[in-house]
Structure 1
Amino acid sequence: MHKLNIRVYYEDTDMAGIVYYANYLKFIERGRSEWVADLGIDQLALKEEEGLVFVVRRVEADYLAPAKMGDDLVVETETMSSTGVRWVLNQRVMRDSEVLFQAVVTVVMMSDTGHPARMPANIRQLVH
């Protein structure tokens, strides 16, 4: 499981000082991006050298409790399943031991021309 620490800033909140709902998607995107980088996958090189990019295909999200300005959060990311064309992740945004937001995210690989593509074998091994 990968963990990313995030602090909630004023810019993340609405007028009530509560994290704006769409920002949770940004938080989990950062969590995925950092995890992929920590696995040793260079997404820019993957695009430039092989013409492949990761694309979010589906997000099932549950908003369970609000985060507020000044909160220290942790984005947890773990693989639920993976195939040659699909990577399904469980992502949670936590404050201490409380789950504030949870999402199941399906990521697929696409060519830079917008067509579905298989993940290279070395990447399949890393994300499994």
Structure 2
Amino acid sequence: MTHLFNLRVYYEDTDLAGIVYYANYLRFIERGRTEWVRSLGIDQGALKAEEGIVFAVRRVEADYLAPAKFDDELVVETTPAAVTGARITLLQEVRRGGTVLFSAQVTLVALSETGHPVRLPANIRLMLH
């Protein structure tokens, strides 16, 4: 169940050398994760309001493989790798055409509004598989 999110590199995404600033890849994959969750029919605002649950990044392991440049058309690919009671592990790649520019393994945790780990509701876990 891979989700694809398209984006274009804007001038504001680049550094003085005209390539995407390294931290912006994290922003790109965040957008990809948000759109993946939305595509599953999960309303994160409602999840917070009704269940008191939010997602937080626990860990990111990232590899920068090749630079993206101004005006490139990119695709963020998001694929779930594992879902447990309170943890989601995703594999994410940023591609330009058939070339992988950036890859990451991202671990998300479900937290209460006080910042404590909580189990995801069973219906949400099923949606994430």
Report the TM-score range of the alignment, normalised by the length of the smaller protein: over 0.9
Alpha-carbon distance in structure 2 between the residues aligned to 1:49 and 1:85: 17
Q: Which residue of 1 aligns with 2:93?
A: 92
Cα displacement string for residues 88-120 of structure 1 (whole angstroms, at most 9, x for unaligned residues): 000000000000000000011000111100011
Which segments of structure 1 move beyond 6 Å, counting only runs of 4 or more? none
Matched, 1:63 2:64: yes
Q: Which residue of 2 aligns with 1:47?
A: 48
Cα displacement string for residues 25-45 of structure 1 (whole angstroms, at most 9, x for unaligned residues): 000000000000010000001
| SS of aligned partner of 1:5 | strand
Q: Which residue of 1 aligns with 2:125?
A: 124
Shift of 1:85: 1.2
Output the aligned Cα RMSD.
0.5
The alignment's TM-score, normalised by the length of structure 2, stands at: 0.98
Instruction: Tell me the amino acid that sits aligned with residue 95 of structure 2.
Output: M
Q: Which residue of 2 aligns with 1:38?
A: 39
The alignment's TM-score, normalised by the length of structure 1, stands at: 0.99
- Alignment: residue pair count: 128
| SS of aligned partner of 2:114 | coil
Cα displacement string for residues 66-100 of structure 1 (whole angstroms, at most 9, x for unaligned residues): 00001000000001111111110000000000000
Shift of 1:46: 0.6
